[in-house]
Structure 1
Amino acid sequence: MTTDRARDLRRSATDAEKRLWHGLRSRQIEGAKFRRQVPVGRYIVDFACFELMLIVEADGGQHSEEADAVRTAALEAAGYKVIRFWNNDILSNTHGVLEVVREEVLARTPHPPTR
């Protein structure tokens, strides 16, 4: 049932989700592989990079701060880092949003030891 719901969400993506996906897909950000509308535990998250345990959420008017706080706490308790952006920020400042995601990807990417 969760997989069917995730599939439906992929088909009915918002404009902000489409724009964000355009910048995240195909390993465009430092080679990180993101998937969209995927189940993580009991939740379906907008975008996830499982290798880096990073979740990116696009928030619109349907989101409530209380429910999002519970959801974020549960995902973070499972070891994920969750970053959220409002849809209007994604649409008006896509480059800036993708730069924040890039910085988080770099912060979570293991670096080889220096000699």
Structure 2
Amino acid sequence: MSHARIPPQRRANAKRMRKAMTDAELKLWNELRAHPLMGLGFRRQMPIAGYIVDFACPTHRLIVEIDGSQHALAENASNDDIRTERLKADGWTVLRFWNDDILRDLDNVCTHIIRTIGKDLP
């Protein structure tokens, strides 16, 4: 997979975001890091297509976004839709979960991720 050039400001933003993860992001990252979820390799705060996505599994072209309550606002939801369509156009599957889903029901979130990736397996 070829990599697009990442502007220095965007790279710095991703690095800053990795250091300031939300509780939900940290909880999910602890499940994904170092390949414990079925050996899948995820990266956090990864720049893709001009955006910084929360988590990405490049091998399966899967993006996992974790949304706080601000994403329920109409303007933000519209921006999320545009972002999702752009990522899908590049061949990525995008899963979105609410913070509360991660904090209260992590097992089902992980099951959903595994099932989604399983659809891509031979």
| TM-score for the superposition, normalised by structure 1 | 0.91
Equivalent residue runs for 1:27-66 within 5 Å: 27-63=35-71, 64-66=76-78
Q: Is the 8 A contact 1:30 1:105 kept in 2?
A: no
State the SS of the aligned residue for 1:39. Answer: strand
- Aligned-residue Cα RMSD (Å) equals 0.9
Q: Spell out structure 1 runs of 4+ moving beyond 6 A.
A: none
Residue ranges of structure 2 left out of the alignment (5+ in a row): 1-8
Residue ranges of structure 1 left out of the alignment (5+ in a row): none
Q: Distance in 1 between matches of 2:36 and 2:119?
A: 16
**In the alignment, what sits opposite 2:6?**
none
Q: Which amino acid aligns with 1:36?
A: R
Equivalent residue runs for 1:89-108 within 5 Å: 89-108=101-120
- Comparing 55-64 with 16-25, greater Cα deviation is found at 55-64
| TM-score for the superposition, normalised by structure 2 | 0.86
State the SS of the aligned residue for 1:51. Answer: helix
More helix by share: 2
State the SS of the aligned residue for 2:21. Answer: coil
**In the alignment, what sits opposite 1:20?**
28
Deviation at 1:11, TM superposition (A): 0.6
Q: Which amino acid aligns with 1:89?
A: D
Q: Distance in 1 between matches of 2:83 and 2:104?
A: 26
Count of residues in correspondence between the two structures: 110
How much identity, in percent, do the aligned residues show? 42
- Comparing 25-34 with 70-79, greater Cα deviation is found at 25-34
Greater RCO (CA < 8 Å, at least 6 residues apart): 1
Q: Distance in 2 between matches of 1:17 and 1:67?
A: 20
